[in-house]
Amino acid sequence: DFVPYPEALVLIGEIGLITLLLEAGIELDVAQLRETGAKALAIGLTGTVLPLAVGLGLAIAQGATSMKSALAVGASFSPTSLGVAGSALKSGKIADTPVGQLIVAACVVDDILALILLSIFQVLVKDSPSIIEYFLPIISSVGFLIVLGGSAVTWMPKFIENRILAKVPENYRDFTMFSIMALMLSAYLPLMYYTKASYLMGAFLTGCSFALVDGAYKKFMHKMHDVMIWLLRVFFAASIGFQVPVTLYSDPYVVGWGFIMYACIIAKMPLGLYVPQFEDKREGQTYNPLTRDRLITGLSMTCRGEMSFIIASFALGEGLFPAKIYAAITWAVLLSCI
């Protein structure tokens, strides 16, 4: 009630998240992705299953009323926040390193799987859903990754650069490139959303289409960097901050279970073991680069944020668990952001 039109601020924050995914796609090292794509997929899949299993067990121990309720608790901890992890990687100046690229790709896989989980929960709460409704999110997500993702790293950048930008006067090339980017974004976002895939995947795939376009990343950062910083501040303050039930944090039950549920978050730490050797140890180094990269990956994958709140809010709205459990979940999620 204190902030007027909170929905508008949340929407502005979501635009910030979309620009972050767009930047992550443009920044993507396609050659590196070909080498680490399987690892990113493995990290994303394992990172979804581990918190889901731990959360399921804790919810049953806490006295969950149904299997759907217990699954909802675990699913709330499954997604890693690319917004939180990406900001941390950029602050540490490692977002464009091989391990940074691996983490970004794994986070995208994580978000896609989280949206699939959310779509499945939306089907589970229906009275008599059809069989196809269970599989539509999986089919659409995998299909778009293969078709649009494959195009983005093969023929599409060449088409944009050689068939379009090369024929435009140099003074108008930046404007033309950003116009194409905006048109693709306007098409991909609703396409992904209405086919039950992740709209965030649409932003990422749009960016990937420009990853091999000469100078695209440098021009994007020159035009958008300052705007992105402010949009992301709104994202953390509004899109995440407005969903925190601060009035319930005075309850010892909420705080206690929040600390217990933090086990679902640290369950992702072992994901660092998937990281391969990117850098050999040089003479005189006081640390092992492989150990460093695995620690960075494990800690980055423990970051939770917007998707955890979205899944938990949906479960609360559908009556899958009470307000105190929702508050405990958000407490644990906030701890992961520190």
Q: Which pLDDT score is estimated for 45? A: 93
For residue 32, is pLDDT > 80? no
Q: Which two tokens stand for residue 129?
A: 């859903």
Q: Which two tokens stand for residue 209?
A: 């289409």
Q: Which two tokens stand for residue 312?
A: 């938990």
Alpha-carbon span 24 to 21, nearest angstrom = 5
Q: What are phi and psi of 204, to 5 degrees?
A: -65, -45
Q: Which pLDDT score is estimated for 94? A: 86
pLDDT, tens only, 135-182: 888 888 889 988 998 999 899 999 999 999 999 998 999 999 999 999
pLDDT category at 236 given cuts 50, 70, 90 is confident
Sequence-separated (6 or more) residues with CB below 8 Å from residue 136: 119, 195, 196
Mean pLDDT for 304-321 is 84
Q: Give the pTM.
A: 0.76
pLDDT, tens only, 75-103: 999 988 877 888 788 888 888 888 988 99
pLDDT category at 316 given cuts 50, 70, 90 is confident
Q: Which two tokens stand for residue 99?
A: 């391990």
For residue 206, is pLDDT > 90? yes
DSSP letters along 16-31, please? HHHHHHHHHHHT--HH
Mean pLDDT for 1-12 is 80
Nearest CA-CA partner of 149 in 275, 33, 42, 39: 33
Mean pLDDT score of the chain: 87
pLDDT, tens only, 99-135: 988 998 888 788 778 878 877 777 777 777 788 887 8
Q: Which two tokens stand for residue 9?
A: 């601020």
pLDDT category at 189 given cuts 50, 70, 90 is very high
Within 63-146, residue ranges assigned H as helices are 67-76, 82-91, 98-124, 131-144
SS3 56: helix
Q: What are phi and psi of 245, to 5 degrees?
A: -85, 75
Alpha-carbon span 264 to 279, nearest angstrom = 31
Nearest CA-CA partner of 88 in 247, 299, 332, 334: 299
